[in-house]
A and B are shown apart, each in its own frame.
Chain A
Amino acid sequence: MSEASEALTSGRAAADRIVKVKRLNACLTPPKELRSSLIRQAQAAHPSGVLYGMPVAVKDNICTLEFTTSCGSKILEGYRSPYEATAVTKLKAAGALIAGKTNCDEFGMGSSTEHSAYGRTLHPGDKNRVAGGSSGGSAALVAAGAAPAALGSETGGSVRQPASFCGVVGIKPTYGRVSRWGLVAFGSSLDQIGVVGRSVHDAARVLSVISGRDPKDSTCEDRDPLRLPTVPESLQGFVIGIPKEYFPPDLDPGVRRACDRAIRLLKELGAAVRDVSLPHTSYAVPTYYIVAPAEASSNLARYDGARYGPRFDGSADVRSLYRHTRGEGFGPEVRRRILIGTYVLSSGYYDAYYRKAQQVRGLIAQDFRHVFDRGVDLLFTPTTPTPAFKAGEKTADPVSMYLSDIFTVTANLAGLPALSLPLGRIKGLPIGGQFIGQAFLEDEMLEAAYALERVVPAGEEV
């Protein structure tokens, strides 16, 4: 077979696998466009790249030249970015194929992908349940076997939480490890592109490719790309902390069993397991729901219908253009967060909310430093308080939805790397466990994940 026809075949096959799971509503790219693009990309891909021929789907809030970038929002319906994210450029340079855009909560605001303007993503194992969010499309697609890996993005757990729900691996790197250039901003001080993969290795090798310095993002650290560790024989010498705040008395018993089993396995692998405390953990969700909406209220100010995206025109008056475009273009959850964010930044409230939240954020980061300074290498916790919940179960109660991120937001607030991997199943539904690592020590976190992944019976009931 010639190289050209081989590319044609592999491009078409990659598209077919995604189109086959169309019922999940995980991929927003129309099948025809996806197929022709993947064939074109396969023909042009760099054969020497470390990801040659690997299809990687990309969350809809990451700019690509290939497809539209709507951020799961009506306000950017049909928007084509004239430039692409650094992460996407790096993927293409490594020979990967950009395998369509994945569904997500609007601008990443949500934990179930129910807040997408393009309909919710279905859980691959139970159509009545959510895939998690906001990177629910990325997680569902990988879990359904339609792509080996996908890019997601995190502001408060949006990669790890759906990875836990769908039974795949999700990594959020250290803040500053991956360039945010081309990632549509939600909460800039928290946002980070992450990776969903079938296995720790699939996710890690994609992460390694997209990581590294980028002068276009001033918050991206001037560091070489992440070097992948080898799979360790044992975890001898690792000290793994178990923070008690992540195991409250009312924790779902299934989740507790899954974590207990994983901790036992970590010990068997030779790791020293130690109980630790992160005393400010209970402030994390309220802190997050001040900082993230505050930044969002400013980041989303640009969507006014004046320059791009659809206009919802009431009259010739510019105020009315803003009001209609933003009122009709944004969904209710985005509007809620813009309102909260505007409020907490208002003069007279700034000190009581935003400044205070930043101080608490400092304390949360300090909690982690204290633990790591005392010889702990990594922390292990549940990723989510429960397995995937039912669709519609939490949409009426925003706070209960927010609480599904209770174990993940801390890593974003502290800027630390974290990873979720499948630990087992509870009544058939996958559940994930989480490692939280030290800043820029993803390699240690990956070693522990590699080792645990090999021994944990992820497909079995706990």
Chain B
Amino acid sequence: MAAWETVIGLETHVQLRTATKMFCGCSAAFGAPPNTNVCPVCLGLPGALPAANEQGIKLAVRAALALGCTVHARSLFARKNYFYPDLPKGYQISQFEQPLSTGGALSFLSPDRGIATATIARLHLEEDAGKSLHDRFARYTAVDLNRCGVPLVEIVTGPDFRSPQEARAYLQTLKQVLEYAGVSDCDMEKGSLRVDANVSVRRPGQATLGTKTEVKNINSFAYVEKALLAERDRQVALLEGGGTVVQHTMLYDSKNNAVRPQRLKEESHDYRYFPDPDLPPLVLSPEFIAEQQAQLPELPAAKRERFVAQYGLSVTDAAVLTAERVVADYYESVARAGAEHKAAANWVMGEVLADAKDHGERLRVQAPALAQLIALVKGGTLSHQAAKRVFTEVAERGGDPRTVAEALGLVQVADTGVLAGWVTDVLGAHAGEVNRYRNGETKLMQFFVGQVMKASRGKADPKLTQKVLEEKLAS
């Protein structure tokens, strides 16, 4: 197997987050009853005409800029002609010659090569088709045209990935960037991010590409790697058996984790693209493009670098905190509320993300509350253990951390008189350890502190406890 190099290029369709469809005023919302979000335009009724959605254009331009593409001042809508029951006009409005944008790049962390760059050959606007439901009625295909005309961008990379794992890593980065840019929710389960892959294999060092196949029907992130592995293995087995790869469209079957060739009948051979005469060329002024650039938030890579510089975090921590925009924003709110940066990072990466994971990705503790909690730990009022309990309590029932800690009786005891009592009890119960300590085994201090914490049920102030212990053991 090592004797083959895999080459993968991806075509990703991403649904733009608009309220209405690309060429009519129908709702673009997911999940409405079949054929309810439709009108003469998206139904392709005789005489109906498209009118481009400005918000769709804005989001597409932002997506292009977020991926470092050159947005062209003039681009053309084109018709892609083919017959299919879920395509009511008999053509899809897309872009072909003169697309919206070209020549971008996206850096991502390759599991094989470290930081790698995928070239974005083009990003263009198009409308979605409807949905054919083959399993709804026996012997009939049902067609739902709600999705028809929903705005998409198609993002085409070069043949830049060298393994299925790498392709997946790119996709995750792409999703992250587009979510950040606010252009899409990139939800693969709802179909708002769909990916087709061109796959070929060749001998390492070979300059030309092998014959490629296109793999379609990859409908979840989990299947990206599996589908590409299946196709790569199929091609390698074919070549090693003395066969040749035939250029073909392959469909991934997730149930059997296998790829099968698409039936010839399902394939369209010639889309007969030509400029759509119903839509004038899309002309974008430099001001419009600059406005969209200004609308873009700081993107993950830049944010990561800034977190390292501004908050003194490690690259790894910064990467975790900036993986999602809401989390990054949350971290910054905590830091802005006065929390110590490293401690805040640990809290967010630990308790906060774990809690969010169990509670529908909600960040349940307000940033100022977390900052206060961190300050209570730092000031010695709460032990770390106690603070975790307060966190959970605040997450569940809300409230101010200090009040909650007091109500729960978790505020640390810093009264040396009270501490001395626990210390005396502990030392009395562990005479052997006391002797060993006095004979130089000073690392037993941690043991004694732990025992005092246990005896106090977490309420003893650890620093003060250590001081009292040192005094008692020295005497």
A63–B88 alpha-carbon span in the complex (Å)? 18
Q: Is A318 an interface residue (CB 8 A)?
A: yes
Q: Is B437 an interface residue (CB 8 A)?
A: no
Which residues in chain B, 433-457, are within 8 Å of chain A measured between CB atoms?
A: none
B47 near A346: Cβ-Cβ < 8 Å: no
Contact of A302 among B52, B88, B265 (CB under 8 A): B88
Which residues in chain B, 293-313, are within 8 Å of chain A measured between CB atoms?
A: none
Contacts of B49 in A (CB 8 A): 180-181, 216-219
Contacts of A322 in B (CB 8 A): 83
Subset of 6 A-B contacts with CB under 8 Å = A63-B47, A81-B47, A82-B45, A83-B40, A181-B49, A307-B43
Q: Is A376 an interface residue (CB 8 A)?
A: no
Chain A 298-320 interface mask (CB, 8 Å, partner B; 1/0): 10111010111000000010110
Q: Is A135 an interface residue (CB 8 A)?
A: no
A319 near B46: Cβ-Cβ < 8 Å: no
Q: A83-B45, A182-B48 are in contact. List 10 more A-B contacts (CB 8 A).
A: A76-B46, A82-B40, A188-B277, A218-B278, A295-B277, A298-B81, A301-B83, A302-B90, A304-B83, A307-B88
A318 near B46: Cβ-Cβ < 8 Å: no
Output the least CB separation between A177 and chain B (Å): 15
A219 near B79: Cβ-Cβ < 8 Å: no
* A345-B81 contact given A219-B278, A295-B277, A298-B91, CB 8 Å threshold: yes
B141 near A318: Cβ-Cβ < 8 Å: yes
With both beta carbons as reference points, the residue of chain B lying nearest to A316 in the complex is identified as B139
A346 near B272: Cβ-Cβ < 8 Å: yes
B265 near A345: Cβ-Cβ < 8 Å: no
* A218-B274 contact given A302-B46, A304-B90, CB 8 Å threshold: no
B274 near A298: Cβ-Cβ < 8 Å: yes
Contacts of A316 in B (CB 8 A): 139
Contacts of B40 in A (CB 8 A): 81-83
Q: Is B72 an interface residue (CB 8 A)?
A: no
Output the least CB separation between B435 and chain A (Å): 90
A342–B139 alpha-carbon span in the complex (Å)? 32
A307–B265 alpha-carbon span in the complex (Å)? 22
B279 near A218: Cβ-Cβ < 8 Å: yes
A225–B445 alpha-carbon span in the complex (Å)? 93
B83 near A345: Cβ-Cβ < 8 Å: no
With both beta carbons as reference points, the residue of chain A lying nearest to B80 in the complex is identified as A298
Chain B 241-265 interface mask (CB, 8 Å, partner A; 1/0): 0000000000000000000000001
Contacts of B85 in A (CB 8 A): 304, 306, 318
Contacts of A71 in B (CB 8 A): 46
Contacts of A307 in B (CB 8 A): 43-44, 88
Q: Is A185 an interface residue (CB 8 A)?
A: yes
With both beta carbons as reference points, the residue of chain A lying nearest to B79 in the complex is identified as A298
Contact of B47 among A184, A298, A350 (CB under 8 A): A184
With both beta carbons as reference points, the residue of chain A lying nearest to B269 in the complex is identified as A347
Could you say which of B46, B270, B273, B278 has the most chain A C-beta atoms within 10 Å of its C-beta?
B46
Output the least CB separation between B146 and chain A (Å): 14
Contacts of A354 in B (CB 8 A): 274
Q: Is A19 an interface residue (CB 8 A)?
A: no
Q: Is A294 an interface residue (CB 8 A)?
A: yes
Q: Is A215 an interface residue (CB 8 A)?
A: yes
Contact of B44 among A62, A63, A302 (CB under 8 A): A302
Q: Is B51 an interface residue (CB 8 A)?
A: yes
A85 near B47: Cβ-Cβ < 8 Å: yes
A183–B46 alpha-carbon span in the complex (Å)? 8
Q: Is B399 an interface residue (CB 8 A)?
A: no
* A347-B83 contact given A81-B47, A189-B277, CB 8 Å threshold: no
With both beta carbons as reference points, the residue of chain A lying nearest to B132 in the complex is identified as A318
Q: Is B286 an interface residue (CB 8 A)?
A: no
Output the least CB separation between B125 and chain A (Å): 14
B278 near A182: Cβ-Cβ < 8 Å: no
Interface size on A, residues (CB 8 A): 45
Contacts of A347 in B (CB 8 A): 270, 272
Output the least CB separation between B53 and chain A (Å): 11
A342–B143 alpha-carbon span in the complex (Å)? 26
Which residues in chain B, 45-103, are within 8 Å of chain A measured between CB atoms?
A: 45-52, 79, 81, 83, 85, 88-91
With both beta carbons as reference points, the residue of chain B lying nearest to A191 in the complex is identified as B277
A81–B44 alpha-carbon span in the complex (Å)? 12
A301–B93 alpha-carbon span in the complex (Å)? 13
- Determine chain A's interface SS by DSSP, over half rule: loop
Q: Is B280 an interface residue (CB 8 A)?
A: yes
Output the least CB separation between A43 and chain B (Å): 27
Chain B 273-290 interface mask (CB, 8 Å, partner A; 1/0): 110011110000000000
A188–B439 alpha-carbon span in the complex (Å)? 99
Which residues in chain A, 166-183, are within 8 Å of chain B measured between CB atoms?
A: 180-183
Q: Is A402 an interface residue (CB 8 A)?
A: no
A294–B276 alpha-carbon span in the complex (Å)? 11
A302 near B277: Cβ-Cβ < 8 Å: no
A189–B265 alpha-carbon span in the complex (Å)? 32
State the 8 A-B residue pairs at the shortest beta-carbon distance, nearest first: A301-B90, A189-B277, A188-B277, A345-B272, A184-B46, A182-B47, A63-B47, A184-B47
A294 near B274: Cβ-Cβ < 8 Å: yes
Q: Is A79 an interface residue (CB 8 A)?
A: yes
Chain A 347-372 interface mask (CB, 8 Å, partner B; 1/0): 10010001000000000000000000
Contact of A218 among B51, B81, B89 (CB under 8 A): B51
Contacts of B278 in A (CB 8 A): 185, 188, 218-219
Contacts of A297 in B (CB 8 A): 81, 272
A219 near B90: Cβ-Cβ < 8 Å: no
A178–B269 alpha-carbon span in the complex (Å)? 37
Could you say which of A71, A76, A217, A304 has the most chain B C-beta atoms within 10 Å of its C-beta?
A304
A215 near B90: Cβ-Cβ < 8 Å: no
Output the least CB separation between B132 and chain A (Å): 10
Q: Is A287 an interface residue (CB 8 A)?
A: no
Contacts of A185 in B (CB 8 A): 46-47, 278
Q: Is A29 an interface residue (CB 8 A)?
A: no
Contacts of A181 in B (CB 8 A): 47-49
Contacts of B280 in A (CB 8 A): 218-219
B46 near A81: Cβ-Cβ < 8 Å: yes
Contact of B272 among A298, A306, A319 (CB under 8 A): A298
With both beta carbons as reference points, the residue of chain B lying nearest to A63 in the complex is identified as B47
Contacts of A219 in B (CB 8 A): 49, 277-280
Contacts of A384 in B (CB 8 A): none
A390–B272 alpha-carbon span in the complex (Å)? 38
A218 near B52: Cβ-Cβ < 8 Å: yes
Contacts of B46 in A (CB 8 A): 63, 69, 71, 76, 79, 81, 184-185, 302
* A350-B83 contact given A83-B40, A219-B280, A302-B44, CB 8 Å threshold: no
Contacts of A342 in B (CB 8 A): 272
A141–B123 alpha-carbon span in the complex (Å)? 52
Output the least CB separation between A339 and chain B (Å): 13
A180–B90 alpha-carbon span in the complex (Å)? 20
B83 near A81: Cβ-Cβ < 8 Å: no
Contacts of B279 in A (CB 8 A): 218-219
Could you say which of A216, A301, A346 has the most chain B C-beta atoms within 10 Å of its C-beta?
A301
Chain B 134-160 interface mask (CB, 8 Å, partner A; 1/0): 000001010100000000000000000
With both beta carbons as reference points, the residue of chain B lying nearest to A190 in the complex is identified as B277
Contacts of A182 in B (CB 8 A): 47-48
B270 near A302: Cβ-Cβ < 8 Å: no
Chain A 69-87 interface mask (CB, 8 Å, partner B; 1/0): 1010000100101110100
Contacts of A180 in B (CB 8 A): 47, 49
With both beta carbons as reference points, the residue of chain A lying nearest to B83 in the complex is identified as A322
B91 near A301: Cβ-Cβ < 8 Å: yes
B51 near A350: Cβ-Cβ < 8 Å: no
Could you say which of B45, B51, B89, B143 has the most chain A C-beta atoms within 10 Å of its C-beta?
B45
Contact of A81 among B45, B50, B139 (CB under 8 A): B45
Output the least CB separation between B57 and chain A (Å): 12
B89 near A301: Cβ-Cβ < 8 Å: yes
Chain B 353-372 interface mask (CB, 8 Å, partner A; 1/0): 00000000000000000000
A76–B270 alpha-carbon span in the complex (Å)? 27
A342–B88 alpha-carbon span in the complex (Å)? 18
